[in-house]
């Protein structure tokens, strides 16, 4: 006894004890009132605590197991520069997450793992974490552009791609198609890469299977990303490539899925293939949707910034306010999984893992970043202007 029902006591978790001492031991008409009062105070305290949490922690997950097993950690964007043969210049490569020495603190049985491999080891735990995006809102497929980011779980039912786009079937069905390799940097966003992951000014076309092998060999953030409109920048300019992209959707991919009313208002069709720990850094564009047909993908999304808070890169594209504004930041998006202290506070960031068959929709101007959790990930979607 002697304790009082104060905000400090509730914050210390003493509500239950106070309830037992002050309420349950007394048989009086005031009992229901005490119950109602305490439940209301507890609910208010819960809401207050929820609002005080950092945005990325609503809900979030701390991968403490990784931190306790790592004796040396990089897990940030590392974009190596290597000397080129016979030249004095250096060649810059697509980013990766460096490596981590994992093992017991005494050094026994420790081994160096790539950061991408650690993403794979954590993938099931990450995929089971709560999602802070709304699921199947009442306005789905009825309101476009979407009023807020959301996950739709029942759009791809009946699509042939759902049952026929496993890795083996996909490579067999579309094995003759070749597309340019790309990566992502804060400056200048999309960039072309070569067979070793090196940045290049000319497109290097590869088959889907070759891409997966290159990603596994380099452990770097390389991917295939195709838009079907003319003049999207980098290697995709030109009538020949425009026709190639159109054929990819009309004669191949598009036969295995049907865009439902409500999502067919976007001006551009897109296709994305990612390997383990690859994806796009924070960027924004018009309203968009993306349906995952194989593989799981982590999304981080944030609302548009207040006017005047944005800076731009060398191409005039907006730059998200990372903690580190080096050109490499954002080049390895999965760094936010392994080092959550890299996530800027106060940016109202939400996180969700998209499962195969689910569709993520985004309003125009919302920032977003992705990280693939699987060796084979393919998705189709659409973007506004």
3-state secondary structure the chain: CCCCCCHHHHHCCCHHHHHHHHHHCCCCCCHHHHHHHHHHHHHHHHHHHHHHCCHHHCCCCCCHHHHHHEEECCCCCECCEEECCCCCCEEEECCECCEEEECCCCCCCCEEEEHHHHHHHHHHHHHCCCCCCEECCCCCCCCCCCCCCEEECCCCCCCCHHHHCCHHHHHHHCCCCEEEEEEEECCCEEEEECCCCEEECCCCEEEHHHHHHHHHHHCCCCEEEEECCCCCCHHHCCHHHHHHHHHHHHHHHHHHCCCCCCCCCCCEEEEEEECCCCCCCCECCCCEEEEEEECCEEEEEECCCCCCCCEECCCCCEECCCCCCCCCCCCCCCHHHHCHHHCCCCCCCEEEEECCCCEEEECCCCEEEEEECCCCEEEEEEECC
| Residue 377, pLDDT above cutoff 70 | yes
The whole-model pTM stands at 0.77
Q: pLDDT at position 164, please?
A: 92
Q: pLDDT at position 327, please?
A: 58
Q: pLDDT at position 29, please?
A: 47
| Percent of the chain surpassing pLDDT 90 | 43
pLDDT band per the 50, 70, 90 thresholds, residue 42:
low
Q: pLDDT at position 303, please?
A: 93
Least confident of 126-130, 240-244, 265-269: 240-244
| Residue 170, pLDDT above cutoff 80 | yes
- Of residues 153 and 110, more confidence is placed in 153
pLDDT band per the 50, 70, 90 thresholds, residue 86:
very low
Convert the pLDDT of each residue in 97-142 to its tens digit. Answer: 777 665 544 555 566 778 888 899 999 999 999 999 999 999 998 9
The stretch 43-47 carries a mean pLDDT of 46
Least confident of 114-128, 330-344, 362-376: 330-344
Domains of the chain: 5-51 (no CATH), 114-232+240-384 (2.60.120.650)
Q: pLDDT at position 320, please?
A: 84
pLDDT band per the 50, 70, 90 thresholds, residue 172:
very high
The stretch 260-274 carries a mean pLDDT of 90
The stretch 363-383 carries a mean pLDDT of 95
Q: pLDDT at position 232, please?
A: 43
């Amino acid at each position: 006894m002697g304790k009082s029902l104060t905000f400090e006591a509730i914050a210390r978790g003493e509500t239950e004890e106070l309830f037992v001492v002050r309420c349950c031991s007394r048989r009086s008409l005031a009992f229901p009132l005490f119950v109602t009062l305490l439940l209301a105070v507890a609910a208010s305290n819960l809401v207050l605590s929820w609002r005080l949490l950092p945005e990325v922690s609503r809900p979030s997950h701390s991968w403490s197991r990784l931190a306790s097993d790592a004796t040396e950690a990089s897990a940030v964007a590392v974009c190596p520069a290597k000397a080129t043969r016979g030249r004095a210049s250096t060649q810059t490569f697509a980013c990766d997450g460096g490596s981590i020495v994992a093992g017991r603190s005494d050094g026994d049985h420790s081994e160096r793992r790539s950061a991408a491999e650690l993403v794979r080891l954590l993938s099931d735990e990450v995929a089971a974490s709560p999602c802070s995006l709304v699921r199947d809102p009442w306005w789905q497929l009825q309101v476009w552009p979407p009023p807020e980011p959301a996950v739709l779980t029942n759009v791809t039912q009946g699509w042939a791609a759902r049952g026929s786009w496993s890795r083996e079937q996909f490579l067999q069905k579309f094995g003759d198609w070749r597309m340019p390799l790309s990566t992502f940097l804060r400056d200048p966003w999309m960039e072309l890469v070569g067979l070793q992951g090196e940045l290049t000014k000319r497109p290097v076309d590869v088959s889907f299977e070759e891409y997966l092998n290159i990603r596994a060999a380099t452990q770097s953030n390389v991917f295939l990303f195709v838009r079907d409109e003319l003049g999207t920048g980098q290697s995709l300019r030109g009538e020949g490539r425009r026709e190639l992209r159109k054929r990819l959707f009309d004669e191949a991919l598009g036969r295995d899925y049907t865009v439902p009313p409500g999502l067919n208002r976007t001006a551009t069709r897109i296709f994305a293939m990612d390997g383990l720990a690859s994806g796009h850094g924070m960027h924004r564009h018009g309203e968009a949707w993306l349906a995952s047909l194989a593989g799981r993908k982590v999304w981080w999304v944030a609302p548009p910034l207040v006017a005047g808070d944005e800076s731009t890169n060398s191409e005039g594209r907006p730059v998200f306010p990372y903690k580190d504004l080096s050109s490499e930041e954002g080049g390895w998006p999965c760094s936010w999984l392994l080092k959550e202290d890299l996530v800027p506070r106060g940016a109202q960031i939400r996180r969700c893992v998209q499962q195969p068959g689910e569709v993520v929709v985004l309003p125009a101007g919302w920032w977003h970043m992705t990280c693939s959790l699987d060796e084979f990930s393919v998705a189709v979607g659409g973007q506004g202007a």
